[in-house]
């Protein structure tokens, strides 16, 4: 059941070749709206990485120790979403306690993350591909870093082309999508190194 | 055990476990124990439970920092100087603070949480602020869009205001509005009366004014919080030029009737009131009667859109300039008192500055 | 501005199409747009879930406490997605397999929650159902158009049936992820230009 792939290869692949956003289109909504601003992109990227790493571990445990033994795998959507919502809420409280400045950098984005498809998507990929616990955590962390990298790059590029003359109908989202398309092509260039389906 | 039972139990169990975890985290993480807040160098010390925003914590201790938005961080009124270091200014505070305020550690009290012992500085007069639940005793139409509302204070409870100051009226949730709303209204009654009177103009789409005009009934009980504001009489012998529009008449009703009652006769008092048409004029008899009884006082209403009015015609700024030019002593020191819409205020201030009234002698209350 | 069924249809499929206005909800479906069959099944699923979630939210709107509204809506949406998932697994196992995790991702499709929040919260049940279904339709035609271009040029087929001659050289890029972004941008460009013309 468990695919034979070394955690390191999986880690690299999830950042570059199988980038959760550029290859699987996950987490697009907030990706396009938040990437207008560099510092917000950084905060959201970090928050997504943290939440992905934690939820992929917890969801793996819930899947393998509750749902599979009870033969309730068809309920995975509801259960994963509840876990994600709870983790986000707990994280919000902890960050608020530890550091107000971190809370301001991250905390305001946390409510957005519950409905970020990348988080649920990673949980579902883990279930479908049958990763082990270690593979799941590595895949979650790598996907988060890949998402973070993608949004930082996009925010930087958008800053650069802010004043470029663009046809009226392509202004805003249109040209952003074309930019993402080129980024996706560049990331596919890594597939000679390592690929995960 | 059929799947019919197992499925809800499993989902319920997982949800309950997570809810318990959230509750535990809340207990452990958000438990700041008791903290002490020292106010104005130890003049007052509060012992409170930590974890809530400063604004809320102080309100529970009967210290009411002014706030128009009720703690949502959208008005910037609830500024407090925090002497203890509580970390950098938050992005939600920065838009409301000047460079100089940030350097002095001024914070928005609705945004910062009380997590450990604090020492803060608040204006002394805030200690006088009370929250009183009062009963609506009468509602009267003054014009097509201004109502006079009177509130009866409970036995033995008073709001110790100076004439010219304002209270926050707390409107309960109604229709689609899910939260209580607080809005500021100048007091038009005299201090030490048993009733507080407000003049409330209907603002189209306004949450609080719509409630007052369309939902509020006599006999209802609402909270009044006050006094606030630095718009009050300065005791000098300079000529007083008062200018108001619409419900901006409210503070002057309190200030001028109080002066007459105390027998202030050492200064000239002019009251210019600007309106569009005759249907926007109110309390005219009251002011004419006061002119009879109080020799130093003159009331000058002016209408801007009523060509066959027998009194003063034109914009209030033009009328004000004309009177300063023609009927007043150019050399006598003057003070300006203004209350009304921002547009009218700015225009009148320009006129007053043009005629040599110094900036620091123009007192105003802007109805934003 | 009364909400008539006809106006709702026009707004949700054209002037206020969620994809054009805010590029909402493309996460869950864009990935399968290199194949018309998969796209059709996915968008039908989204339309079904949006319609019935809106209907349910509208029916329960007076019962749901304000504080737990979001999570309740999420659970209602999850319930319908699970139904779609079970139906697909039973009747179209092949397609279910090729869609992979994307059926489950309908839950996080912003359009569904967006319509529940913006419309179903404050409108009667049947109108909300209609609003949800038409939003799904507006979503469907845009993604079907993208899938048509990608499958035709990427495989030379439509609904897996060969239409282009054997000699046709397939465009490999059309099968891969970047083309989805490009084609979506082009569709957006065309739609916006037409809308600007209409407005002028």
C79 touches chain A (CB under 8 A): yes
Is C23's CB within 8 Å of A168's CB? no
Q: What is the pLDDT of residues A53-80, one digit of tens each?
A: 999 999 999 999 999 998 888 888 899 9
Is C81's CB within 8 Å of A77's CB? yes
3-state helix, strand, coil in chain C (%, to 5): 80, 0, 20
pLDDT value of residue B28:
81
Residue spans of alpha helices (H) in A16-109: 28-34, 38-62, 76-98, 100-106
Count up the domains in chain B and report the number: 3
pLDDT in tens, chain B (368 residues): 576 788 888 888 888 888 888 888 888 877 788 889 998 888 888 888 888 889 888 888 878 887 766 666 767 778 899 988 887 887 777 778 888 888 899 998 888 888 888 899 888 777 888 889 999 999 999 999 999 999 999 988 888 899 999 999 998 888 777 777 888 899 999 998 889 999 999 988 888 899 999 989 999 999 999 888 889 999 998 999 999 998 999 999 999 999 999 988 889 999 999 999 999 999 999 999 999 999 999 999 999 988 888 888 889 999 999 998 888 888 889 999 999 988 888 999 999 999 889 988 999 888 76
Exposed / middle / buried, residue A178 (Cβ in 10 Å: 0-12, 13-18, 19+): buried
Is B22's CB within 8 Å of A97's CB? no
User: Which of A79, A93, A100 is closest, CB to CB, to B90?
Assistant: A100
B66 and B110 inside one domain: yes
CATH of the domain at B264: 3.40.50.80
Is B26 within the bounds of a domain?
A: no
B328 and B222 inside one domain: no
Interface mutation vs chain A, best among B10, B32, B88, most A CBs within 10 Å: B10
Q: Domain locations in chain C? A: 23-199
Is A66's CB within 8 Å of B14's CB? yes
CB A49 within 8 A of CB A144: yes
User: Which of B7, B21, B90 is closest, CB to CB, to A86?
Assistant: B21
pLDDT at A6 over 50: yes
Asked which of B84, B99, B126 is the last residue of a domain, the reply is B126
Measure in Å the smallest separation between the Cα of A153 and chain B Cα atoms.
24
pLDDT in tens, chain C (200 residues): 456 888 888 888 887 787 776 667 777 778 888 889 999 999 999 999 999 999 999 998 888 776 677 778 888 999 999 999 999 999 999 999 988 888 988 888 878 888 887 788 888 899 999 999 999 999 999 999 999 999 999 988 888 888 888 888 888 888 888 899 999 999 989 988 888 887 76
Residue C146: HSE in the Cβ half-sphere, 13 Å Cα cutoff: 30
CB A17 within 8 A of CB A194: yes
Asked which of B126, B143, B166 is the last residue of a domain, the reply is B126
pLDDT at A137 over 90: yes
> For residues B285 and B275, what is the distance between their CA atoms, to the nearest angstrom?
16
> For residues C127 and C133, what is the distance between their CA atoms, to the nearest angstrom?
10
B360 and B249 inside one domain: yes
State the pLDDT confidence band at A38, using cuts at 50, 70 and 90: confident
Asked which of B104, B126, B148 is the last residue of a domain, the reply is B126
A169 touches chain C (CB under 8 A): yes
| Residue A130: φ, ψ to 5° | 65, 40
User: Which of C30, C85, C188 is closest, CB to CB, to A25?
Assistant: C30
A128 touches chain C (CB under 8 A): yes
Is B72 within the bounds of a domain?
A: yes
User: Which of A71, A78, A96 is closest, CB to CB, to B11?
Assistant: A78
Chain centroid to CA A37: 18
B292 and B335 inside one domain: yes
C126 touches chain A (CB under 8 A): no
B99 and B177 inside one domain: no
C112 touches chain A (CB under 8 A): no
B302 and B251 inside one domain: yes
Name the token pair of B348: 């009148």
The range of the structural domain enclosing residue B75 comes to 34-126
C25 touches chain A (CB under 8 A): yes
Contacts of residue C85 in chain A, CB cutoff 8 Å?
74, 77
pLDDT at A196 over 60: no
Is A82's CB within 8 Å of B14's CB? yes
Length of chain B: 368
Contacts of C180 (CB under 8 A, 6+ apart): A25, A181, C30, C31, C33, C34, C146, C150
A86 touches chain C (CB under 8 A): no
CA angle C27, C30, C31 (to 5 degrees): 95
B155 and B115 inside one domain: no
Q: Which other chains touch chain B, taking contact as 3+ CB pairs less than 8 Å apart? A: A
Helix (H, G, I), strand (E, B) or coil at B363: strand
DSSP H or E segment with residue B223: strand B221-228
Contacts of residue A67 in chain B, CB cutoff 8 Å?
10
A33 touches chain C (CB under 8 A): yes
C30 touches chain A (CB under 8 A): yes
Is B22 within the bounds of a domain?
A: no
CB B352 within 8 A of CB B328: no
Exposed / middle / buried, residue B336 (Cβ in 10 Å: 0-12, 13-18, 19+): buried
pLDDT value of residue B167:
92
Cβ density class C16-33: b for 16+ within 10 Å, e for less: ebbbbeebbbbbbbbbbb
Is A104's CB within 8 Å of B92's CB? yes
Computed over every residue of chain A, the mean pLDDT equals 85
C175 touches chain A (CB under 8 A): no
B302 and B214 inside one domain: no
> For residues C150 and C164, what is the distance between their CA atoms, to the nearest angstrom?
13
Nearest residue to B42 via CA among B83, B101, B79, B1 = B83
> For residues C107 and B332, what is the distance between their CA atoms, to the nearest angstrom?
75
C42 touches chain A (CB under 8 A): no
Name the token pair of B15: 């949800």
> For residues B340 and B275, what is the distance between their CA atoms, to the nearest angstrom?
11
DSSP H or E segment with residue B329: none
DSSP H or E segment with residue A141: helix A133-160
Is B167 within the bounds of a domain?
A: yes
> For residues B48 and B85, what is the distance between their CA atoms, to the nearest angstrom?
19
Interface of A with B in 94-113 (CB under 8 A): 94, 96-97, 99-101, 104, 108
pLDDT at A135 over 80: yes
C146 touches chain A (CB under 8 A): no
For B59-91, the DSSP string reads HHTT-----SSSSSSSS---EEEE-S---SPPT
């Amino acid at each position: 059941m468990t695919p034979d792939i070394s955690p390191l290869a999986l880690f690299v692949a999830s950042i570059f070749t199988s980038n959760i956003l550029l290859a699987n289109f996950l987490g697009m909504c907030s990706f396009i709206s938040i990437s207008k601003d560099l510092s917000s992109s950084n905060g959201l990227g970090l928050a997504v990485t943290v939440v992905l790493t934690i939820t992929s571990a917890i969801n793996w445990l819930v899947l393998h120790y509750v749902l599979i033994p009870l033969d309730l795998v068809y309920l995975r959507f509801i259960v994963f979403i509840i876990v994600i919502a709870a983790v986000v809420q707990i994280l919000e409280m902890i960050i608020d306690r530890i550091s107000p400045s971190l809370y301001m950098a991250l905390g305001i984005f946390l409510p957005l993350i519950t409905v970020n498809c990348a988080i649920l998507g990673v949980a579902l990929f883990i279930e479908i591909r049958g990763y082990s616990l270690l593979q799941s955590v590595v895949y979650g962390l790598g996907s988060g870093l890949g998402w973070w990298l993608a949004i930082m790059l996009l925010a930087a590029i958008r800053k650069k082309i802010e004043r470029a003359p663009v046809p009226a109908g392509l202004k805003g989202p249109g040209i952003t999508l074309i930019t993402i398309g080129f980024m996706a092509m560049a990331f596919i260039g890594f597939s000679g190194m390592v690929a995960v389906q | 055990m059929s799947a019919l039972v197992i499925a809800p139990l499993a989902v319920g169990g997982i949800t309950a476990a997570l809810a318990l975890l959230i509750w535990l985290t809340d207990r452990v993480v958000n438990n700041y124990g008791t903290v002490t807040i020292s106010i104005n160098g130890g003049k007052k010390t509060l012992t409170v439970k930590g974890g809530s925003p400063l604004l809320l914590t102080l309100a529970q201790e009967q210290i009411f920092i002014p706030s128009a938005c009720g703690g949502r961080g959208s008005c910037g009124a609830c500024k407090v100087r925090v002497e203890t270091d509580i970390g950098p200014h938050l992005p939600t505070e920065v838009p409301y603070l000047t460079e100089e305020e940030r350097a002095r550690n001024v914070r928005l009290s609705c945004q910062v949480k009380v997590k450990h012992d604090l020492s803060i500085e608040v204006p002394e007069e805030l200690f006088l602020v009370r929250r009183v639940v009062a009963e609506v005793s009468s509602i009267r139409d003054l014009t097509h869009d201004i109502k006079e509302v009177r509130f009866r204070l409970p036995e033995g409870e008073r709001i110790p205001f100076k004439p010219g100051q304002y209270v926050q009226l707390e409107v309960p949730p109604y229709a689609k509005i899910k939260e209580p709303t607080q809005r500021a209204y100048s007091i038009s009654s005299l201090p030490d009366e048993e009733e507080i009177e407000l003049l409330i103009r209907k603002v189209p789409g306004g949450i609080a004014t719509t409630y007052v005009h369309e939902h509020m009934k006599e006999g209802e009980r609402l909270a009044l919080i006050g006094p606030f504001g630095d718009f009050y009489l300065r005791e000098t012998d300079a000529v007083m030029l008062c200018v108001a529009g619409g419900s901006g008449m409210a503070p002057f009703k309190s200030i001028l009737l109080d002066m007459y009652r105390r027998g202030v006769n050492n200064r000239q008092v002019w009251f210019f009131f600007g309106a569009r048409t005759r249907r926007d004029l109110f309390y005219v008899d009251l002011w004419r009667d006061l002119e009879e009884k109080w020799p130093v006082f003159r009331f000058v209403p002016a209408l801007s859109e009523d060509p066959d009015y027998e009194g003063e015609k034109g914009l209030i700024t033009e009328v004000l300039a004309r009177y300063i030019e023609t009927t007043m002593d150019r050399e006598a020191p003057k003070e300006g008192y203004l209350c009304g819409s921002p547009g009218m205020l700015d225009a009148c201030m320009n006129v007053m500055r043009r005629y040599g009234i110094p900036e620091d002698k123009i007192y105003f209350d802007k109805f934003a | 501005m009364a909400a008539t069924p006809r106006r709702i249809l026009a707004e949700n499929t054209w002037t206020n199409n969620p994809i054009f206005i805010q590029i909402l909800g493309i996460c869950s479906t864009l990935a399968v747009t290199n194949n018309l069959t998969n796209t059709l099944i996915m968008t039908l699923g989204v339309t079904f879930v949006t319609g019935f979630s809106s209907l349910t939210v509208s029916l329960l709107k007076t019962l749901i406490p304000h504080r737990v509204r979001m999570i309740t809506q999420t659970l209602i949406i999850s319930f319908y997605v699970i139904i779609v998932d079970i139906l697909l697994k039973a009747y179209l196992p092949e397609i279910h397999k090729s869609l992979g995790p994307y059926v489950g991702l309908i839950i996080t499709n912003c359009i569904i929650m967006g319509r529940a929040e913006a419309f179903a919260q404050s409108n009667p049940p049947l109108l909300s159902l209609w609003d949800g279904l038409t939003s799904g339709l507006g979503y469907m035609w845009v993604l079907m158009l993208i899938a048509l271009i990608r499958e035709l040029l990427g495989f030379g087929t439509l609904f897996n049936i060969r239409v282009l001659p054997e000699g046709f050289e397939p465009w490999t890029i059309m099968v891969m992820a970047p083309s989805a972004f490009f084609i979506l941008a082009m569709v957006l460009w065309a739609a916006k230009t037409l809308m600007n013309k209409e407005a002028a």
